Structure 1
Amino acid sequence: MVIGNILIIDDESINSETIKDTLEDVNYKVVLASNAAQAKLIVKEQTFDLIMMDVWMPGQDGMSLLEEWMQADFSMPVVMMSGHAEHQDVVKAIKLGAVDFLKKPLHDILPLVRKFLSEKINRNDEQKISGINFDLPLKTVRNIFEAQYFNYHLAQNNHNIAKVAELAGLERTTLYRKLKDLGIDKK
């Protein structure tokens, strides 16, 4: 089971292959690109949970690619890497939209990747929650949530009331009453 898709953009194949081997050993799917041109083609075709990109590469450098992507409302998190980063490079990368800046060689990469991916999950959860109007009374918000919950499970289970009742941990008669109170058509 793949637990995350990661793109590594680095012209130093020894570095990227080492990271790839480490991450693939624990079920991450890793794709490698050796330059910006390859990376652009890859991200047109695939989505990644994390992109790790070297600053200094032949052709287009990582900073200018990061800037290009961020100006185009790029949504995948990017971590910049460099073996000889100056303080101003770190500041510039973060201002451009990188989620972090790592110094190469990367030692103990697994905890870092897990941290970045858990932060992405938390950001996604916050975005989902932010759509709720917290100024409404609790009962109203609960009813909105319950209606979404039951509509989702009814659709996923071909409107099988017995199955939805089992998933929700309710008696069927209680579920029927709940659906009626929420104004949900059982069909």
Structure 2
Amino acid sequence: MIIGNILIIDDESINAEAIKDTLEDVNYNVVLAADAQQAKIIVKKQTFDLIMMDVWMPGQDGMSLLEEWMSAGFSTPVVMMSGHAEHQDVVKAIKLGAVDFLKKPLHDILPLVRKLLAEKINDDKLKIGGINFDLPLKAVRNIFEAQYFEHHLAQNNHNIAKVAELAGLERTTLYRKLKDLGIDKK
């Protein structure tokens, strides 16, 4: 079972293959790109949970590709990598939108990848319906029910009989629920 899709953009094939082997051993699907041009083509065809990109590559460098993607609204987390990074490179990458900056050669990459993908999964879960899943169940249920009833009331021109039928409730029960949730019936 694949647990995540990762794109590695690095012109040093030995480094890229080593990371790929490590990640594939624990069921990540890894795609390699040797440069920015190849990465752009791959990203148009496939979605990834994480992108790991070298700073220094022939042709377009990693920083300018990161800047290009971020200014286009790219939402996939990007980790920058370099064997000879200056402090200003790290700062620039983070300001541009990279989630991390790693010094090559990479050692013990799995904990970092697991952490980054766990954060992405948690962020995605928190975005479902705008509900904060850290709230108690009753509060989350009330938020969901309010969204559910407001949606169906709007879709059905505030026809209580129709919404009650859709929800599988008696009209009196629906009236009481709407009142408890603070929803205007009109």
TM-score normalised by structure 2 residue count: 0.74
Q: Is the 8 A contact 2:131 2:143 kept in 1?
A: no
Q: Is the 8 A contact 1:10 1:35 kept in 2?
A: yes
- Provide closer, same or farther for how the CA distance between residues 140 and 3 of structure 1 changes in structure 2, counting only shifts above 3 A: closer
| CA RMSD after TM alignment | 2.6
* 1:2 matches 2:2: yes
Q: How far apart, CA to CA, are the structure 1 residues paired with 2:25 and 2:114?
A: 14
Deviation at 1:123, TM superposition (A): 1.8
Deviation at 1:141, TM superposition (A): 5.7
TM-score normalised by structure 1 residue count: 0.73
Q: How far apart, CA to CA, are the structure 2 residues paired with 1:43 and 1:111?
A: 25
* % identical equivalent positions: 82
Corresponding position of 2:31? 31
How far does the alpha carbon of each residue in 1:18-46 deviate from its partner, in whole angstroms, 9 at most, with x for none?
00001001100000000000000000000
Q: How far apart, CA to CA, are the structure 1 residues paired with 2:32 and 2:145?
A: 43
Aligned-partner SS, 2:105: coil
Q: Is the 8 A contact 2:83 2:104 kept in 1?
A: yes
Q: How far apart, CA to CA, are the structure 1 residues paired with 2:92 and 2:61?
A: 13
How far does the alpha carbon of each residue in 1:38-85 deviate from its partner, in whole angstroms, 9 at most, with x for none?
000000000000000000000000000000000000011100000000
Aligned residues: 151
Structure 2 stretches of 5 or more lacking a match? 149-166, 176-186
Q: Is the 8 A contact 1:51 1:79 kept in 2?
A: yes
* 1:41 matches 2:33: no
Q: How far apart, CA to CA, are the structure 1 residues paired with 2:28 and 2:104?
A: 20
